[in-house]
Structure 1
Amino acid sequence: MKKNNIVLVGGGSTWTPGILKAMTTHLEEFALNKVVLYDIDEDRQEVIGEFAKILFKEEAPDVEVVYTTDKNIAYTDVDFVFCQMRTGGFNMREKDEKTPLSLGVIGQETCGAGGFAYGLRSIRDMVEMVKEVRRLSPEAWILNYTNPAAIVALALDKIFPEEERILNICDQPVNLLRSYSKLINHDVNDLEPVYFGLNHFGWFTNIFDETGKDRAPELKEIITTGGFKPVDAEQRDQSWLETYAVVKDMLIDFPDYLPNTYLQYYLYPEYKLSQLNPEKTRTDEVREGREKKVFEECRRIVANGTARDSKVVHNDAHGDMMVEVAASIANNLRKTFVVIVKNNGIISNLPNDSMVEVAASLGANGPAPYAVGEIGTFYKGLIENQYAFEKLTVEAYIEESYGKALQALTLNRTIVDAKKARQVLDALIKDNKEYWPELR
């Protein structure tokens, strides 16, 4: 089995230790030669990088570990790029959440106005990253987890139409599958999903077990009667517990399919707005929770020189997914994953150029998506509206168009009012003057 060279872009992220732990856990399926952590924030990178060296010394001593802020070192001679950028860091995430809320619309990291702002920031750095990777490692697979994945995926498809080795993925379908498996006391690896939609905007139509039985009806009944929690509820912040709880409401109102949790922002915008605190948002919760806990633990591990006693650093759904996707490509395993691909008839009554999120088998030649066929009027209408928002957002970036940015925000179901959209857009332009193109 070939030993792979990996670069993890966003090496200073709080998610990085979990990905690194997943790498050491899955060495038999995904052999490693070298792991490089790359970040532009040297201080964050050093904490995680020193932790990485200890972890691999103890669990995979034959693997070389490097951390760097030099893109030439990071992108040279790599087989896989694991990308999880956060352009602007938590300071800009805070503005994405608090600025819209101050103006009376939902402020959320990837949805609505916040997702729009984050998307316009992410596109620039993602395009630069792809160009640099292709300069230094022309054959590398780029596995992108950078948010908002829907906008990023569409932008990369428009700007690099000939690219065949970029795969955009999200861990929320995996998180949901793990949570479903716990509800029915079943091994998640024996469940086969059928899924359709856009990123953070989709539904599971079926969940088949190894016998071919569809477990979705059973799951709907369990959730509508007993509620829904994430599989790792004890490790989640309160806002995530509330997010999963609203799945019950969505299923009661729209019982056809099992919904992605993020749909609540679009289906219940007034309710969700009433539940959000403009003074303390998810960013504050992460800073005080996961951010603090992960960095404190990594510093403790570095000071003690061992990671063997850590109960904080473990491979989670995010890390497992990234490594398992890479392994399926590297070893042509043809395993099924929910991924983001160009529609091209997969969902027959949606635009061919939309970037849809569907189940696909994944091998050496990339994803082979499973056909979905026609979808119902309600779901088609919701998706077409959201896709129009995403497409106009990307066009606003490429064309530097204020008009298209305004159209995008006016269409978004979390805003819908054009006067509000203009007010929000003007405020976000001020927030993002260092990151966005000048919109004219």
Structure 2
Amino acid sequence: MKLAVVGGGSTYTPELIDGFARLRDTLPISELVLIDPAADRLDLVGGLARRIFAKQGHPGTITTTSDLDAGVADADAVLLQLRVGGQAARNQDETWPLECGCVGQETTGAGGLAKALRTVPVVLDIAERVRRANPDAWIIDFTNPVGIVTRALLQAGHKAVGLCNVAIGFQRKFAKLLDVAPAEVHLDHVGLNHLTWELGVRLGGPTGENLLPKLIAEHGETIAADLHMPRAVVDRLGVVPSYYLRYFYQHDEVVRELGTKPSRAAEVAAMEKELLALYGDPTLDEKPELLAKRGGAFYSEAAVDLASGLLGGGGSPVQVVNTYNNGTLPFLPADAVIETQARIDASGPTPLKVAPLDPMYAGLVAGVTAYENLALEAALHGGRERVFKALLAHPLVGQFEYAEALTDKLIAHNREHLAWA
């Protein structure tokens, strides 16, 4: 089995490698190719990746290349984890929206739109080259904004599934609170990427008893602290929102906070410099502790599970993924991309049925879906007016004056990445 990772020079890749090494029985990789245009980073990451495999006794080979076409040739699955513009572009996404009093974040709001505009054309080009190399290859997208990018891929006819680590993170946290193995925990997880709620926590599968009320009653403070929200939010909702909902539920407070400290991109850039120095140590043969602060916890385990299921292996039969709605949420179009529990096999994901969504959540999901439609149109076809309409439709912007100003700022900060600008 051959896997390729586009963006393999990421400082986060050793987390992925560690998962591949530990879970080799679930996903028996014979060849792994790390692909990245940054040859210097790729050499450091590739060297550590080989040492991790060797230490854990993994028999597979790891190669590195800056040649995308050569790297994806004959791959059974291709993982996308790229960042167009690097941390410098992310830093801009997280700062210039604050000038208009809007949240600065890399996956939602104006910053998230900027990332989508930079990313979608690049991902679609990569996907076409993957299809030419092997039309049967699965594309697993971890590149944000996952919902928009996955829809772009599916709309273009690619065999693609979107993946996020939010659900598996919740699963692990709830399992710890319940003192059970993570595999025993089933989540009633529904919404859009970075706009989801845990409506139930069940043991043994979708029909198990819902233990979420008990968890909130007994561990509400711990759950709320993880979300960086007041416990009253969790208590009054009676469900557990993704921590990304804080940008909606506490928007103005978050804007004030972000204006008083360095951007997350600046923190990550400093961390990456330190990580790359560690990776260059020829004696290092495991992921360093510092990597845990980089973000993306449990991504490797989710990626192994999903790839195994898609390739006919032993992955979990039910997993949280981003895929076409196809009637799962009846108030959304069939071709909207939602994030929910789905049965995974070699034919792809099939979403499980979900209970009717409370209007309080359904309204926000519908509104953000409308924004994502407009965002994808802007990413595919360009134009200032399309950018403006997407921003005006976003619940975190929503005002004419802000949308006008943010449109100009977005284009000015991203001109080098926008072919039409």
Shift of 1:117: 0.3
Shift of 1:217: 0.8
Q: Deviations over 1:203-223 (max 9, x none)?
A: 111111128221111222234
Does the Cα contact within 8 Å between 2:341 and 2:351 map onto a contact in 1? yes
Q: Deviations over 1:362-394 (max 9, x none)?
A: 111111210125322221211111111111011
- Partner residue in 2 for 1:330: 311
Shift of 1:292: 3.8
Q: Deviations over 1:97-150 (max 9, x none)?
A: 111112321101111111000011110111011001011122111111000101
Matches within 5 A, 1:380-399: 380-399=362-381
Matches within 5 A, 1:249-328: 249-255=232-238, 257-277=239-259, 280-289=262-271, 291-300=272-281, 302=282, 304=283, 306-307=284-285, 311=289, 316-328=297-309
- Partner residue in 1 for 2:400: 418
Q: How far apart in 2 are the matches of 1:88 and 1:354?
A: 27
Letter in 2 for 1:213: E
Letter in 2 for 1:134: R
Matches within 5 A, 1:231-246: 244-246=227-229
Q: Could you tell me which of 185, 193, 199 is aligned with 1:199? A: 193
Q: Could you tell me which of 347, 351, 356 is aligned with 2:329? A: 347
Shift of 1:225: 4.1
Letter in 1 for 2:190: F
Q: Could you tell me which of 209, 213, 217 is aligned with 1:217? A: 213
Unmatched 5+ stretches in structure 2: none
Does the Cα contact within 8 Å between 2:140 and 2:162 map onto a contact in 1? yes
Deviates more, 1:270-279 or 1:140-149: 270-279
Q: Could you tell me which of 154, 157, 165 is aligned with 1:171? A: 165
Q: How far apart in 1 are the matches of 2:329 and 2:397?
A: 27
Letter in 1 for 2:217: E
Q: How far apart in 2 are the matches of 1:100 and 1:313?
A: 28
Q: How far apart in 2 are the matches of 1:95 and 1:293?
A: 22
Does the Cα contact within 8 Å between 1:72 and 1:136 map onto a contact in 2? yes
Does the Cα contact within 8 Å between 2:216 and 2:223 map onto a contact in 1? no
Q: Deviations over 1:35-61 (max 9, x none)?
A: 110011112111101111222233245
Letter in 1 for 2:229: V
Does the Cα contact within 8 Å between 2:165 and 2:297 map onto a contact in 1? no
Q: How far apart in 2 are the matches of 1:227 and 1:137?
A: 44
Does the Cα contact within 8 Å between 2:35 and 2:64 map onto a contact in 1? yes
Q: How far apart in 2 are the matches of 1:247 and 1:32?
A: 44
Q: Could you tell me which of 131, 134, 154 is aligned with 1:134? A: 131
Q: Deviations over 1:283-334 (max 9, x none)?
A: 1122233x2443232122x2x2x51695556895011111111112223545
Structure 1: which 4+ aligned runs deviate by more than 4 Å?
308-316
Shift of 1:416: 1.6
Does the Cα contact within 8 Å between 1:194 and 1:205 map onto a contact in 2? yes
1:80 aligns with 2:53: no
Does the Cα contact within 8 Å between 1:197 and 1:358 map onto a contact in 2? yes
Q: How far apart in 2 are the matches of 1:199 and 1:316?
A: 16
Q: How far apart in 1 are the matches of 2:362 and 2:11?
A: 36
Q: How far apart in 2 are the matches of 1:46 and 1:309?
A: 16
Q: Could you tell me which of 30, 35, 40 is aligned with 2:37? A: 40
Does the Cα contact within 8 Å between 2:140 and 2:163 map onto a contact in 1? yes
Q: Secondary structure at the match of 1:433?
A: helix
1:185 aligns with 2:176: no
- Partner residue in 2 for 1:237: none
Aligned-pair identity in percent equals: 27
Shift of 1:173: 1.1
Q: Secondary structure at the match of 1:434?
A: helix
TM-score by length of 1: 0.89
Matches within 5 A, 1:40-119: 40-60=37-57, 62-119=59-116
Letter in 2 for 1:34: E
Q: How far apart in 1 are the matches of 2:198 and 2:191?
A: 9
Q: How far apart in 2 are the matches of 1:406 and 1:312?
A: 40
1:157 aligns with 2:154: yes
Shift of 1:87: 0.6
Q: How far apart in 2 are the matches of 1:309 and 1:148?
A: 26
Does the Cα contact within 8 Å between 2:331 and 2:366 map onto a contact in 1? no
- Partner residue in 1 for 2:142: 145
* RMSD value, Cα: 2.1
Unmatched 5+ stretches in structure 1: 231-243
Shift of 1:197: 0.6
Q: Deviations over 1:135-182 (max 9, x none)?
A: 112211111100010111222233x1x33x211111111112212222
Q: How far apart in 2 are the matches of 1:101 and 1:285?
A: 18
Letter in 1 for 2:373: K
Does the Cα contact within 8 Å between 1:223 and 1:248 map onto a contact in 2? no
Q: Secondary structure at the match of 1:246?
A: coil
Q: How far apart in 2 are the matches of 1:417 and 1:79?
A: 46
Q: How far apart in 2 are the matches of 1:100 and 1:28?
A: 46
Q: How far apart in 2 are the matches of 1:122 and 1:247?
A: 34
Does the Cα contact within 8 Å between 2:310 and 2:346 map onto a contact in 1? yes
1:365 aligns with 2:347: yes
